[in-house]
Chain A
Amino acid sequence: MNFDIQARWRLYITDNIWINITDTTISTWIVGAVLILLAVVVRVKLKKFKPVPETRFQNIIEALVEFFDNHVTTIMTKKYAHFGAWFFGLFLFLLLANISGIFGLRPPTADFATTFPLAFTTVILMQVIGIRYNMKKGEYVKEFFRPVFIFFPLNVASDISRSISLSLRLFGNMLGGLVLMGLIYGLFPRLVQIGVPGALSLYFDLFVGALHAFIFVTLSMYFLMMKVPETD
């Protein structure tokens, strides 16, 4: 049993420098292609959408968008609700990436190289939202020197460590599920493999995947809200 990330192809730039095309890369491309396809289909069908939904497709899309819109406005208030566009895209990507294990792909989120950049984006967004909305009296800068100025390195470290805890949570859960499912598939003989691990796969791939995609996005939004003035 081997749970390493396999490099499938190599793109040589020069003889000594190459780019590995790994399992993660391939599944990320597939997930991205599916998302782009979905976006194009929705855009084309958008002209035929009625004020009162008639088709099942429109109902599903509207329910998804409305659910996420409500969630974003509860956490981030109306003023910052436009950040929901980024988080909705992130949520859909993570959702598809986490449950792609069902379709035989290696989940891209079971690779620290996927989760860490996504979590680091949150840290950068925290600084952006702080500078954009919390700079009137220099509150954004002052926040780093709370409660006294000696705490500056600690505050910077706590900002950066958020990316680590956020990414390790997603990565650990997805890799743990991957390893556990691999071991369970190895445990059963071929004939029983169809039925029994299916129930566990439902839990580890579907439930944990969807839950942690949601958690990642929700925690990111909470972290963003820490950087803006509280009285709004």
Chain B
Amino acid sequence: MLNYVYQNLSTVLSVAPVMGHEGAVASIITASIFGAVIAVLAGMAPSLMQGYTAARAVEAVGRQPEAAGQIRSTMIIGGVLAETGGVYGLTISLLLVFVNPFVDMYLDAMAAL
């Protein structure tokens, strides 16, 4: 991952239309990685609640073993629906790390000045 970031940084810097902005670009990438870490934390709550869903499903199966099949499919649907928020966080963090738009944005803005 870090290797990738260094590569990204070096390629950006080698084609940078405005020299003298290396420090700014480096701090933009650093801030993006911090943002990605925070975005990935969104996965905490869905995981917690998926465990809760599974626990309640186990209780339900214990109470009504004959409905196990229906309970299982309902549990999977509910768990996956709860996962959506976590996946949004994951998508945002992947976008921030691998297709970072802010460096280009910054360099464009600097070139326009």
Minimum distance in angstroms from A216 CB to a CB of chain B? 9
Interface residues of B in 1-49 (CB under 8 A from A): 1, 3-4
Instruction: Bits for A162-174, please: 1 = Cβ < 8 Å to B, else 0.
Output: 0001001101110
A215 to B73, CA, bound (A): 10
Q: Which residues of A contact B91 (CB under 8 A)?
A: 168, 171-172, 175
Interface assignment of A4: CB less than 8 Å from any CB of chain B:
yes
Given A1-B4, A4-B98, A165-B84, A172 contacting B77 (CB threshold 8 A): no
**Contact B1 A169, beta carbon cutoff 8 Å:** no
Interface assignment of B67: CB less than 8 Å from any CB of chain A:
no
Q: Which residues of A contact B94 (CB under 8 A)?
A: 172, 175-176, 179
Interface assignment of A183: CB less than 8 Å from any CB of chain B:
yes
**Contact A169 B87, beta carbon cutoff 8 Å:** yes
Interface residues of A in 141-172 (CB under 8 A from B): 165, 168-169, 171-172
Q: Which residues of A contact B76 (CB under 8 A)?
A: 211, 215
Q: Residues of B within 8 Å of A, CB-based: how many?
A: 17
Interface assignment of A25: CB less than 8 Å from any CB of chain B:
no
Interface residues of B in 42-70 (CB under 8 A from A): none
Q: Residues of A within 8 Å of B, CB-based: how many?
A: 19
Q: Which residues of B contact A218 (CB under 8 A)?
A: 73, 77
Interface assignment of B102: CB less than 8 Å from any CB of chain A:
no
Interface assignment of A3: CB less than 8 Å from any CB of chain B:
yes
Interface assignment of A42: CB less than 8 Å from any CB of chain B:
no
Interface assignment of A226: CB less than 8 Å from any CB of chain B:
no
Minimum distance in angstroms from B87 CB to a CB of chain A? 4
A165 to B91, CA, bound (A): 12
Minimum distance in angstroms from A173 CB to a CB of chain B? 6
**Contact A183 B1, beta carbon cutoff 8 Å:** yes
A225 to B65, CA, bound (A): 28
Minimum distance in angstroms from B77 CB to a CB of chain A? 6
A215 to B87, CA, bound (A): 14
By beta carbon, the residue of chain A nearest B99 is A4
Partner of A169, one of B4, B73, B83, B98: B83
Q: Which residues of A contact B84 (CB under 8 A)?
A: 165, 168-169
A176 to B43, CA, bound (A): 12
Interface assignment of A219: CB less than 8 Å from any CB of chain B:
yes
Interface residues of B in 65-113 (CB under 8 A from A): 73, 76-77, 80-81, 83-84, 87-88, 90-91, 94, 98-99
A175 to B98, CA, bound (A): 12
Partner of A173, one of B73, B87, B98: B87
Q: Which residues of B contact A165 (CB under 8 A)?
A: 84
Minimum distance in angstroms from A125 CB to a CB of chain B? 19
Q: Which residues of A contact B90 (CB under 8 A)?
A: 172, 176
Interface residues of A in 212-232 (CB under 8 A from B): 212, 215, 218-219, 222
**Contact A3 B80, beta carbon cutoff 8 Å:** no
- Contacts A172-B87, A215-B77 aside, 13 further interface pairs with beta carbons under 8 A come to A168-B88, A171-B91, A172-B88, A172-B90, A176-B87, A179-B98, A211-B76, A212-B80, A218-B73, A219-B77, A219-B80, A219-B81, A222-B77
**6 smallest beta-carbon distances between A and B, as pairs:** A172-B87, A172-B91, A215-B80, A176-B90, A172-B90, A1-B4
